[in-house]
Amino acid sequence: MNVFAYYNYRIYLKDYYDYRKSVHRYFSYRVFAKKAGYTSSGFYLDLVKGRKSLTPQMVLKFITALELNEKEGRYFQLMVDFTHADQPESKQQIFEEMSTLLPRTMKRLTKNQQEYYAKWYHIVIREALSVLNIQDNNIQDLALFLTPSITLPQAKKSILLLEELGLIEKIDARWSPVHKTISSGSEIGPLLVHQFQKQMIDLGKNALDHFSVERRNVSCTTMSISPQGLERIISKIDLFRKEIVDIVRSDEGESMVCELNIQFFPVSKEKDVT
């Protein structure tokens, strides 16, 4: 089991148990508990299900029972802290510490993933390559195609990054997107994407001044709702977004790149109804 392939210790423990059970039929929660030096055979499953959390004292016992070396143990310890952290700033700091411990190939991918989401134009460029015929000799056209435009060095660096991540490829001298996405885990994904989302929201504010109403659709609705109404609205937004994705997938003859930002968030505290 490669501990460095995980960012959530609960998922790691689940996979670890499944793997050990498949290799050694005698392996059980009780066997692990004895090895780790605790008595409750149900504690392991409580951790996996999120009903309980590892304390600093128990972390050391688990590192021993999992037979992790010093570097793996440090990574596991950080993974526990990362899983328990509530604030994005704390998660980001712990994530950066975890990244320094990754094997070289995984470290490079993680660094590239961070860079990919750090600049809004990386993702836009990937989409723009479906619209323009971009080769190595006309990357300047790509830089000027974006709104706002970027520099030629920025566009070239973005092309190199996208290629290294396997998101674009060269076909008959033309750069084209590869139809696959980066998989970075259920917890890492949002952590990296938040910075990108903030940049796109800022671009949305600028769009009010730079595009006519025929080229954009921006509206605001303030409402008071119940918890049940909140859940229904979120479900409707998810369904709407999926319908938009279906339209894009079946679309042909693309001529531009657009951004859809759906924002729905509280502007007040929640009244206690108990």
DSSP string covering 73-84? HHHHHHHHHHHH
Domain assignment present for residue 74? The answer is yes
Residue 69 included in any domain: yes
In a domain, 47, yes or no: yes
Share of the chain above pLDDT 90, in %: 51
pLDDT band at 41 (very low <50, low <70, confident <90, very high): confident
On the question of pLDDT at 269 being above 70, the answer is: yes
Which stretch of 60-69, 112-121, 182-191, 243-252 has the lowest confidence by average pLDDT?
182-191
Residue 183 has pLDDT above 50, yes or no: no
**What tens digit of pLDDT does each residue of 191-223 get?**
677 778 888 888 888 888 888 888 888 888 998
List Cβ neighbours of 36 (8 Å cut-off, separation of 6 or more): 58, 61, 62, 64, 65
Q: Is the pTM of this model over 0.95?
A: no
Residue 181 lies in a domain: no
Domain count, the chain: 1
- State the residue range of the domain holding 45: 3-97
Sign of the torsion angle spanned by Cα atoms 144, 150, 151, 157: negative
Find residue 175's DSSP bridge partners.
Answer: 170
> Is 60 within a domain?
yes
Distance CA 13, CA 66 (A): 9
Q: Contact, 182 vs 162, CB < 8 A?
A: no
CA distance 118 to 126: 14
DSSP state of 53: -
Q: Is residue 228 part of a domain?
A: no
Rounded distance between C-alpha atoms, residue 254 and residue 252, angstroms: 6
- 189 Cβ contact list (under 8 Å, min separation 6): none
Residue 51 — very low, low, confident or very high, per pLDDT cuts 50/70/90?
very high
> Does 266 sit behind a cis peptide bond, omega within 30 degrees of 0 on the bond before it?
no
Picking from 127, 116, 119, the residue whose alpha carbon sits closest to that of residue 257 is 127
pLDDT interval class at 102 (50, 70, 90)? confident
Instruction: Determine, yes or no, domain membership for 267.
Output: no
pLDDT band (50, 70, 90) for residue 36: very high
**Residue 186 confidence (pLDDT) above 60:** no
Q: Which helix (H) or strand (E) holds 229?
A: helix 227-250
Residue 67 lies in a domain: yes
Average pLDDT, the chain: 88
**Residue 76 CA, distance from chain mean position:** 20
Min mean pLDDT across 49-53, 80-84, 201-205 is at 201-205
Quote the CA–CA distance of 189 and 152 in Å, as a whole number: 29
